[in-house]
Amino acid sequence: MSRPLLFLDVDGPLNPYAAKPEKRPDGYTTLRVPQDSGTPEEHGELSRRRRPLRVWLKPEHGRDLLQLDYELCWATTWMADANRWIAPALGLPELPFVDFGDALFQDRPDGVHWKTAPLVEYANGRPFAWVDDEQSDLDQAYVTAHHRARGLLHHVNPRIGLREYDFWTLADFARSLGTSQANG
């Protein structure tokens, strides 16, 4: 049986961008990404456009993600840039990413997040977990209605980022699918 997909957002789960700006969270390193590299500016301000984007990353997260029994996949506005900037800092290999195309940042009238339909389409009936800081009940309802397999929408607080509890939850979900034989 193939492993479930783990759709990974960057800003929020891996980069706790909403944490107090004057203090870098424990265990995190600071990455400064040039803004003129084409990197999307999800949470920046126009007036700061030319300043490097500050990204906090916890190298341990790479190891913890690789130990999960999932196939990792970027689900982030960084898209291909996640492999250029984020993966190396976390010790992750180059990963597939969801290309959001015209859906990128396009709010929907029904309130469903613009990532949700492309993720369901990408999964194409495969079980998945989606780690993000922006899902709502509308997204859960959309997944329930449109996805033929199980889908876990796991919310992460962008002031805190991924914690041990989140990894337990993800491991439990994979185990509940009966696909965790290789784990541990």
Nearer to Mg ion, 69 or 132 (CB): 132
d(CA 152, CA 143): 9
Nearer to Mg ion, 3 or 115 (CB): 115
Least distance from C-beta 156 to Mg ion, angstroms? 8
Nearer to Mg ion, 31 or 149 (CB): 31
Please tell me the count of residues contacting Mg ion according to CB under 5 A: 4
Nearer to Mg ion, 11 or 139 (CB): 11
| Contact predicate 61/162, CB 8 Å | yes
d(CA 123, CA 75): 11
Rule CB under 5 A: which of 124-183 touch Mg ion?
133
d(CA 17, CA 6): 21
Q: Which of 10, 12, 6, 3 shows the shortest CA–CA distance to 155?
A: 12
Q: Taking CB under 5 A as the rule, which mask of x and - marks residues 114-133 in contact with Mg ion?
A: -------------------x
Nearest residue to Mg ion by CB is: 12
The per-residue b/e assignment along 93-128, b for 16 or more CB within 10 angstroms, e otherwise, is eebebbebeebeeeeeeeebbbbbbbbbebbeebbb
Task: Specify the amino acid at residue 73.
Answer: C
Binding of residue 81 to Mg ion (CB under 5 A): no
Least distance from C-beta 180 to Mg ion, angstroms? 27
Q: Taking CB under 5 A as the rule, which mask of x and - marks residues 5-34 in contact with Mg ion?
A: ----x-xx----------------------
Q: Which of 136, 96, 117 shows the shortest CA–CA distance to 6?
A: 96
For residue 51, the Cα-to-chain-centroid distance in whole angstroms is: 24
Least distance from C-beta 100 to Mg ion, angstroms? 13
Nearer to Mg ion, 74 or 142 (CB): 74
Which residues of this chain interact with Mg ion, rule CB under 5 A? 9, 11-12, 133
